[in-house]
Amino acid sequence: MLKIKPPKPKTIILACSLIALAIAIPICGFTIYLFSILSERQAQREVNCATLAAEPIAEPVINDLCQRELIPSALGECGQDTFQIQDIMPIVRSQVLENVSTYNDVTNIFGNYEEYCDPKLPDSREFRCNYFIGRWPNILIFYNSETEVVTRVTTPSCTGGS
């Protein structure tokens, strides 16, 4: 009768190592590929954001903001400078002060641009209003539900941040 010798421990370790290597190499390759796609998408997003940020604000909006002297002089001079989308957030922040301004203050300044406000719910600490100042990006202003004082001013876009 033919006897089969059991494999040596070194042979088993070598075989297991080769199997693990055969599995690990494709996983590493796929991971590198996935990270390169994500990196490429992030780079494209940054290009898109820069393109959007450099677009001019619509002329009717600029005319309105200039007539009411709402554009800070640090951003430029009305009638002489071109204002870009990236200037919207600084314009809003120059007029709306967190923990100071109220819903009525904001309505007096940017009421024409109020697109939507969440309902004030009794069990909610704050409510949010969405302001569309000429073009995307929109500005989100959060208010304390009881006092209607601004708690935060932000934008969900890549052109101004919170």
Over residues 36-57, mean pLDDT: 73
Over residues 23-30, mean pLDDT: 71
Q: Could you tell me how many residues make up the chain? A: 162
Helix (H) or strand (E) holding 65: helix 59-67
More confident residue, 22 or 108: 108
pTM over 0.75: no
Kindly tell me if the per-residue pLDDT of 116 is higher than 70. yes
pLDDT (0 to 100) of residue 27 = 73
Kindly tell me if the per-residue pLDDT of 156 is higher than 90. no
Other CB atoms within 10 A of residue 57 CB: 20
